[in-house]
Each structure stands twice: as C-alpha cells, then as structure tokens.
Chain A
C-alpha cells in the first residue's frame, strides 16, 4: 500500500491491521517514534495525521491511506522546530525516550493554538507519560516554544 510520510510517498508491504507505529519503525526505519505501551496509554508513539496528534500504536495502517503522516524526523529538516529549540533551551530531556512523542503532542497543540493557556497545556500533554518526570520543564518549554514560534 501507499503512504505519505514526512512529505514523501512511500510504498509498504504491510497487512492493513498492522499498527502504523510498526510500519514506521520496522518497515520504513523511522525509529524516532517510540513504542511504550501498545494501547494508547503513554503517548510515546505520537505522530501527526493531517496535522493532528494521534497514537500510532493503535492506528491500523489501513486507516491512514490518503492521509499525511508526520513523524519526529519530519517535524523539521534540521531538528530545530521551535518546539525542539524550546526543549533544548529549557533542558527538558532526561532519558529522552518519551520526548519525540511529547514534542509531537506539543507541536500539534501549538499549531491549533498559538498561545495555549496552562489548562490547554495540561489537557494536551497529559496523555503523554514521562517516567523521568520532566513535566515541569515540558510545561515551561511549551510556553517558550509559543514565544519562539511567535517571534
């Protein structure tokens, strides 16, 4: 089947019920999107589907035909999307495993809402777990990314 991933048309041989996560990681080699739970509980697998944050671990690849998928690798060409810059400035990461998912969730929020309130941030990012506990810095970094994107 054909997929549009990070702006490119890709052809994959996958059964339609195979989760998008494993198509991205194992068939397309895009390992920036992470496996954490397989049941949409942790958000490590967050990607954008037509600009919306979705959990790719429970999304059958058959359901994304004709839609545009963006992964962490495609968020920016240089790894310096305003959200990524804000993450570096705010020294957010620890182990880093959940962070691609956190960043994709934050980028989708900022796309929908340029200046999110604290409540907006809590609502949009609470689906993403971080075992290292970087939440305080994630909140600060989303606010900083909002400034950077506006500047």
Chain B
C-alpha cells in the first residue's frame, strides 16, 4: 500500500500484480484517478454518471468484480448490488466476484454524502448508480468490439459475457483492455422494467460458499505477523474515568506485551486473546465513576412516567384535543413501556489497526467507513487519505457498527498509538453488551376518545425517551423544534393519528447519560408496538374485528391496505384455527416499505408459543425476492427476541446483563414458520433490512390478547402481568 486510498487503475494494476488471478485490468476514466473524479463530481454537485472503474473490474480471466460501496452484514447486498450491475452488463452471472470497496469519497451514499450502510437504504440508494455502472461498461465493451471489427456499435449485441456481430464473437475478458482506453459514453439508456431478466427473480446468495467453509473473513479473523490482541478495561459506569491503576500483575503474565492507558480505559496488549484476557483480569483500577453511577432503572421509569404527564415538544397536532375529548362516547387511556436493548451482534465488536508515521491501516466490520476514517485520521494526526479502511464481513450490524461517535474504531486507534504496535482490539461478549449505544428505553402515554361508531375523534400521545441524534452531526438535520424525528417516526406520522380529526403527539427527550444508537428499525422499534397495540385496544373497545377496524382507518392508504389484505388472506384470517390457537395482526410503514404480519400463537400458563407468522410485504420494486424472504424471517426473529426476552437494566449505574444467559435470544426450537408474500409493485424500491422487525411484537401481543383478553403493554412480554 502506498498510503493513499486512491482506487485508480494504477492501484488496481499494482494490487493485482503477482496475485493468482494474474493481471487485472479495470475500467477507468482516462486522465483521472477515481478520487479526482469524485472530487470534481462533488464540486459540480451533479455527477451525471458514476465512474465505472470504482465499482467494477473486468479481468482477462473473465472474472467480473463488483465493488460494494456498502457493507455486507447479512442483509444480502453482496448479491443484490451485483444483480443491478449484471442486469445491464449482460455478463455471465457465474463469473461475478464481490469485494467491499475501500473508504473513499466516490463511494459516498447517494443520498447522505458519506460512505455508510444503514437505514435500510442500500438497494434504493444504489438502484440507479449500480445499473448505470453496468450499462456504461456494456456500452464501452460494445464500442471496443465494434472498433475492432470496424462496424457500427449499434449493430453489435452484448449477452452473457460476449459481444457479438453476425458470426463475430468476443468475450468481455478479451475486450476489457481495449474498452478501458475508450471514453465512457456521456449517457446510457437503462432497461425498462419489462426488459429485466434478473431484477425480480429470486437469486441465491453469492457469499454462501466462503461462509459455509469458514473462509469468510470477519474483523475478528484478521491476522498478520506482529499483530497483537488487546482487551480494554472500561469504566463500569458510563462516563467514568481512570483515577489510577496498577498493572504490575498484568505485566508479569506470559504473553502480555504492554499495558497502556487510553481515553476509554486501560488496554492490555498481548500475544493472543487469552493472554490479554488474563492480563486484564489482573489489572487493579480505581475509577472516578461520575454522575451516571446513580442510574437506576426503576427510578428512571418513575421519572419518565412523571414527564409523560407534563407538556412536551410538539411532534404533531391538529384540531383541538381538549375540546374534542369531552365529546367522545368512550375514552381509553394506556401507558406502554419498552426497555433499553443491546444490538448483540453475533460477532462482538473488534477493530484492527496498524499505525505508522504516515499511514493508518484499519481492518474492521463497519457500517460507517468515511466517518470512522475521519475520526481515525484525527487521532493519528494524519489526513483521511492516509487512513485505509479494509471492510471485512460484518458478523451482524443492526446499527451498532454505524456509530457517529466511531467508538470501537477510535478506541483501537488510540490503543495502537499508545502501544506503538499493531493491535486488534477485541471486545468480549460482556464488553459488547455493557458497552452502551443501546436502543433507548421508551414510555408512551396515550388517550383516545371514540365517536359513537367507535372511531377515534381525539388522540393524545406523549412519548418519553432519549434522542439518539442529539449530540451527533445529524442533529441540525434531524432535530427540529426540540423533536428528534427518529424518536417519533411511526407515531407522529401515523395514518391512524392523521385520520383522527383532533390529535396531539408530544415528546420529552431526557438526558440520563446512557449512550444510545439506532437499533434495527430505529424509532419504529417502539412506535409500531405502541400504535399497533393501541389500535387493537380501540378495535376491541368498539367491538370491531381488528382487521376490519384497520381497514376502515386506512381506507385512503392503498399500500397499507394491500399488505394488510394480502397477509390476512394468506393467513386465513377469520378461518377456524386449531384448538387453543389465536391470531393477531399488525401493519406498519417504515423505510419506504409496508409490512403486515399475522401471528398465530397459543398460550399455556405463562408460556407463549408462536406457531406461524405470515408477512405481507410491499417494498416497491423487489430486486431479489429471496433476500426479502430471508430478511422477513430474520426480522421476525430479531423482533421476537426483543418482544419475549430483551431487556437491559441499570442498578447503581451498572448494566445488570452481561451475556446470553441473562440477555436471551430466540433459539431454534422457538422458531415459528414464517411465510413471506410480496406485492407486485412498480413503486420506487423501499428498504427491507429493518421494516420486518416493527410489526412482530404488536402482532404477537394482539394474538395474546385474543387468546387471553390480557393486554400486554410492556416489553419484554410477561404473561403473568397485564398493565
């Protein structure tokens, strides 16, 4: 490596010389490095077409390498983005290879201006760019062939990795070298939906072979000569600082190379994990704990409850709730509670750093390449261009690896800098679970007044919980008039609220000092539970079928209705069930997609069993239905783990949970049968990694209500209690 993140052809050539694949020739724009192109594009702020060399390489061995501007963390973009390129490139699918792109401005998110993966945005945000790359490359290959044959390019055809003209035929691999010297066309015409051959067809994952063989490299698996493993002893309370420490015993242990203080605590650097762990166990540290040592979950809940009874910042309002409420035929009030949650990715956090005088090399599974790069550069005293980020596979992300505070990357750079040797900082499961950046705890207070027909005429809702955006660079964009959009999404903009003539949604954003972050489905992880449960309460209070009640309220929302009706029909809503089985339904819009779920459950004593979940999905144009089904299955499991078990609590400032014995996840024997049915749609693509999480908790709670007449208003669900 030469200390830059230039991804120009020169570097491709350099990177590939001596590799087993032989000489690799990439497409590039003559006279420009990719970075230069990116900077020019940014300057003119209207990049017409992406530079194909940054996203695609075609080699003489016919391999087609797709570079991902986003991180593969299970959601399947390792396959989805190549589908978009291949659709236009007309290549041989079996020749596709995939790599994570380096961190560089050219790979910035098309909507957010930084290189990142999150918000269920990859597919829709790359839908045009990756197809354009495929089309550009195809046109350049056709031109190269036409030039060689001396014919008009429009008389040539590209298909299955070859350009043909009459009986003439040349492979993409043979044309690549000539194609790279041609100017890319100024414009390309993308196929119409009717012409698609790959988009919309179920496609199996491309990363399976290496993942099932144990060859896939996660951040945890990075190895090179001289690399040490470090564990950091962090404050037992958020915000605590090291007062003093004694490392004598730790340093005396075999394999321990160094003990260094860093801003987050004390790092033990050793030859391997086990030595680092024993070394850390042997440290004696005196902590200055600070104010967070007083954190106590029951007391926080009381504070939240008191706040919920006072006026908050206005998130949505219409009509006059105070005047309308007394006119109601009946009135309902309810309080809902949801706890702090850990992302608990299967691969605990880790980050490897090799720091030299003029370069910082980082290997990690991150969702936040360019912010992490900038943070690392600052600590290392380098320019971001001197910081190389090698994105490995992520052993799960769910938002935890997209941290505006760049915590795990920052800390690893600090350790490498202090220890003066290459280190892999590994978080144990306990470190990971107690390391913060949680889904916040939430409390909602609601009241609704119903008219004589049982429909809501007044709605008041007060939401209490920490802002995940406050204090981050996103605050100016996302916090308006004291309301963090991510705190109220799914509630303030709910079609139920909007259908209620007089409504008011308010927000309190307390600051207890607990680090919080987006957690798969973000605000919808609490609002969908509250909205879909409370609507069920209103349906029940007005003695209406939960499906019919929703249909009436959503009559002007065709995409909600579409998935609601699809899920209901496929689940056999209204048809008899086995004895002891009951159904619940929920529907929610988020991340540009619409999901309805029907859960079928049985209850025995305090045990609930979820037998079947039927999902109706409208994600607009669906690129890979196989990935959508997988994401629905996974989202149901993720949501059920939270609904049934997930809870972090604080006592004397300490997180009480530490590992999977006291923070349980759903296990295989509890897995319901999940069915996914997708609405055929020509709407803009929506997100799919997160939306499936939102409706599952209320669908199950509503089914439990059908079974027991008990309304569970707290998560995790405890069948012994009802609010």
- Bound complex: CA A97 to CA B429 (Å): 14
B74 touches A96 (CB 8 A): yes
B638 touches A133 (CB 8 A): yes
CB neighbours (8 Å) of B1 from chain A are: none
Q: Tell which of B74, B208, B426, B626 touches A87, judged by Cβ atoms closer than 8 Å.
A: B208
Most buried by B among A19, A87, A91, A96: A96
B346 touches A129 (CB 8 A): yes
CB neighbours (8 Å) of B207 from chain A are: 93, 96
Given contacts A97-B396, A103-B212, A131-B665, are A31 and B220 in contact (CB under 8 A)? Answer: yes
**Which of B45-53, B541-549, B629-637 has 4 or more CB atoms under 8 Å from chain A?**
B629-637
Most buried by A among B216, B394, B634, B668: B668
CB neighbours (8 Å) of B74 from chain A are: 93-96, 132
CB neighbours (8 Å) of B220 from chain A are: 31, 34-35
What's the least CB distance linking A145 to chain B, in Å? 11
Whether, in the assembled complex, B651 has its beta carbon less than 8 Å from a beta carbon of chain A, the answer is no
B223 touches A136 (CB 8 A): no
Whether, in the assembled complex, B404 has its beta carbon less than 8 Å from a beta carbon of chain A, the answer is no
- Bound complex: CA A95 to CA B74 (Å): 3
Over the window 631-674 of chain B, the binary record of Cβ atoms lying under 8 Å from chain A Cβ atoms (1 yes, 0 no) is: 00111111000000000000000000001110001111101011
Given contacts A44-B346, A91-B204, A95-B347, are A37 and B429 in contact (CB under 8 A)? Answer: yes
| Residues 61-116 of A at the B interface (beta carbon under 8 Å) | 71-73, 79, 84, 87-88, 91-100, 103
- Bound complex: CA A22 to CA B255 (Å): 13
Given contacts A26-B272, A41-B659, are A132 and B396 in contact (CB under 8 A)? Answer: yes
Given contacts A79-B212, A91-B626, are A136 and B671 in contact (CB under 8 A)? Answer: yes
- Bound complex: CA A34 to CA B221 (Å): 9
A136 touches B347 (CB 8 A): no
Over the window 1-42 of chain A, the binary record of Cβ atoms lying under 8 Å from chain B Cβ atoms (1 yes, 0 no) is: 000000000000001001100100111010111111111011
| Residues 182-232 of B at the A interface (beta carbon under 8 Å) | 204-205, 207-209, 211-218, 220-221, 223, 229
Whether, in the assembled complex, A144 has its beta carbon less than 8 Å from a beta carbon of chain B, the answer is no
A38 touches B272 (CB 8 A): no
A126 touches B212 (CB 8 A): no
- The chain A residue with its CB closest to the CB of B254 is A15
Whether, in the assembled complex, B428 has its beta carbon less than 8 Å from a beta carbon of chain A, the answer is yes
Q: Tell which of A36, A39, A137 touches B348, judged by Cβ atoms closer than 8 Å.
A: A36
Whether, in the assembled complex, B55 has its beta carbon less than 8 Å from a beta carbon of chain A, the answer is no
Whether, in the assembled complex, B454 has its beta carbon less than 8 Å from a beta carbon of chain A, the answer is no
| Residues 109-129 of A at the B interface (beta carbon under 8 Å) | 121-123, 125-129
Range for the number of chain B residues in contact with chain A: 35 or more
What's the least CB distance linking A134 to chain B, in Å? 7
What's the least CB distance linking B363 to chain A, in Å? 13
Whether, in the assembled complex, B399 has its beta carbon less than 8 Å from a beta carbon of chain A, the answer is no
Whether, in the assembled complex, B393 has its beta carbon less than 8 Å from a beta carbon of chain A, the answer is yes
A36 touches B346 (CB 8 A): yes
B429 touches A94 (CB 8 A): no
CB neighbours (8 Å) of B633 from chain A are: 133-137
Given contacts A31-B220, A34-B220, A94-B74, are A122 and B214 in contact (CB under 8 A)? Answer: no
- Bound complex: CA A133 to CA B520 (Å): 13
Whether, in the assembled complex, B267 has its beta carbon less than 8 Å from a beta carbon of chain A, the answer is no
B272 touches A91 (CB 8 A): no
Whether, in the assembled complex, A54 has its beta carbon less than 8 Å from a beta carbon of chain B, the answer is no
A95 touches B274 (CB 8 A): no
A138 touches B668 (CB 8 A): yes
| Residues 220-265 of B at the A interface (beta carbon under 8 Å) | 220-221, 223, 229, 254
A129 touches B223 (CB 8 A): no
CB neighbours (8 Å) of A22 from chain B are: 272-274
Whether, in the assembled complex, B123 has its beta carbon less than 8 Å from a beta carbon of chain A, the answer is no
B214 touches A94 (CB 8 A): no
Range for the number of chain A residues in contact with chain B: 35 or more
Q: Tell which of A41, A79, A122 touches B660, judged by Cβ atoms closer than 8 Å.
A: A41
B634 touches A79 (CB 8 A): no
A133 touches B346 (CB 8 A): no
A33 touches B214 (CB 8 A): yes
CB neighbours (8 Å) of A19 from chain B are: 274
- Bound complex: CA A76 to CA B667 (Å): 27
What's the least CB distance linking B268 to chain A, in Å? 15
Most buried by B among A33, A71, A88, A123: A88
A72 touches B204 (CB 8 A): no
Whether, in the assembled complex, B76 has its beta carbon less than 8 Å from a beta carbon of chain A, the answer is yes
Whether, in the assembled complex, B619 has its beta carbon less than 8 Å from a beta carbon of chain A, the answer is no
A91 touches B396 (CB 8 A): no
Q: Tell which of B211, B229, B274 touches A93, judged by Cβ atoms closer than 8 Å.
A: B211
CB neighbours (8 Å) of B208 from chain A are: 87-88, 91-93
- The chain A residue with its CB closest to the CB of B665 is A129
Q: Tell which of A38, A39, A87, A94 touches B634, judged by Cβ atoms closer than 8 Å.
A: A94
A126 touches B668 (CB 8 A): yes
A26 touches B205 (CB 8 A): no
CB neighbours (8 Å) of B212 from chain A are: 79, 84, 87-88, 92-93, 96, 99-100, 103
CB neighbours (8 Å) of B215 from chain A are: 32, 79
- Bound complex: CA A33 to CA B213 (Å): 10
Q: Tell which of A88, A95, A139 touches B394, judged by Cβ atoms closer than 8 Å.
A: A95
CB neighbours (8 Å) of A71 from chain B are: 214
- The chain B residue with its CB closest to the CB of A22 is B274
- The chain A residue with its CB closest to the CB of B223 is A29
Whether, in the assembled complex, B344 has its beta carbon less than 8 Å from a beta carbon of chain A, the answer is yes
CB neighbours (8 Å) of A26 from chain B are: 229, 271-274
B209 touches A100 (CB 8 A): no
- Bound complex: CA A103 to CA B210 (Å): 13
A97 touches B395 (CB 8 A): yes
CB neighbours (8 Å) of B429 from chain A are: 36-39
Most buried by B among A32, A72, A92, A93: A93
CB neighbours (8 Å) of B397 from chain A are: 95
A95 touches B393 (CB 8 A): yes
CB neighbours (8 Å) of B393 from chain A are: 95-97
Q: Tell which of B271, B626, B637, B669 touches A133, judged by Cβ atoms closer than 8 Å.
A: B637
Whether, in the assembled complex, B75 has its beta carbon less than 8 Å from a beta carbon of chain A, the answer is yes
Most buried by B among A32, A41, A44, A136: A136
CB neighbours (8 Å) of A53 from chain B are: none
| Residues 479-494 of B at the A interface (beta carbon under 8 Å) | none
Whether, in the assembled complex, B345 has its beta carbon less than 8 Å from a beta carbon of chain A, the answer is yes
- The chain B residue with its CB closest to the CB of A85 is B212
Contact sample, A vs B, 26 pairs, CB 8 Å cutoff: A22-B272, A26-B271, A26-B272, A31-B217, A31-B221, A35-B273, A36-B346, A36-B348, A37-B429, A79-B209, A84-B212, A84-B213, A88-B212, A91-B205, A93-B205, A95-B346, A96-B207, A96-B393, A96-B395, A97-B396, A100-B212, A126-B668, A130-B668, A133-B636, A133-B638, A133-B666
A interface residues with partner B (beta carbon < 8 Å):
15, 18-19, 22, 25-27, 29, 31-39, 41-42, 44, 71-73, 79, 84, 87-88, 91-100, 103, 121-123, 125-139
B interface residues with partner A (beta carbon < 8 Å):
72-76, 204-205, 207-209, 211-218, 220-221, 223, 229, 254, 271-274, 344-348, 393-398, 426, 428-429, 626, 630, 633-638, 659-661, 665-669, 671, 673-674
Given contacts A131-B638, A132-B638, A136-B673, 19 further A-B contacts (CB under 8 A): A31-B217, A35-B426, A37-B660, A41-B661, A73-B214, A79-B213, A88-B209, A94-B634, A95-B347, A96-B216, A99-B211, A122-B668, A123-B669, A129-B665, A130-B346, A132-B346, A133-B634, A133-B637, A135-B671
Ranked 6 nearest A-B pairs via Cβ = A32-B214, A133-B637, A97-B395, A79-B213, A95-B74, A96-B211
